[in-house]
Amino acid sequence: MALTVVPVSDETAEVWREIHNQIVPAAPLSAADVEERRGRNLLTLGVVDGHVVGNATVRPVVDGQATVIVRVRPDHRRRGYGTEYLAHLLAVADELGATTVATVVLAANADGLTFARRHGFAEVERYEVDGAEFIDLARDLPIT
């Protein structure tokens, strides 16, 4: 089944937040945090056959680089949804004029780190926020 990418609305913001908090429990977001992020980033949900399989964030381009973060629920992984979702969002970053794309992965998320590396992202930096370790990774565009 094909993945459909839909923008987060007032009605679906809580679903986006639940997915984020499930996958990034070390940095949970409140409803107010999600609303603030909606004001500056593109937040989307990935939907397959009426079921939300993940969420994503695209941050604006700064100095030629967009940040794209894809999160797929654990029970929907290894079915190609993450790859399809990422391809869609890399195209968005390309349309926004990005020449490179960054992503951020919670260091404890082994699946996320493996996924990013498999899709051409290389580690740039590790850092801690409130005791949780995060990894910034980046790759070049265009999509190939």
Q: What order do you get walking across the sheet with 4-7 strand by strand? A: 4-7, 42-48, 51-62, 65-72, 100-106, 132-140, 122-129
CATH number at residue 30: 3.40.630.30
Termini Cα distance of the chain: 23
Report the domain count for the chain. Answer: 1
Residue 36 has pLDDT above 80, yes or no: yes
pTM of the model: 0.93
Q: Cα separation of 71 and 24, whole Å?
A: 9
Residue 49 has pLDDT above 90, yes or no: yes
Summarize the chain as % helix, strand, coil (round to 5): 35, 40, 30
The residue assigned the tokens 């593109």 is 42
Of the candidates 112, 25, 37, 21, the one whose C-alpha atom is nearest the C-alpha of residue 69 is: 112
Q: What is the overall mean pLDDT for the chain? A: 95
Q: What is the pLDDT of residues 53-94, one digit of tens each?
A: 999 999 999 999 999 999 999 999 999 999 999 999 999 999
- Domain range for 75: 4-140
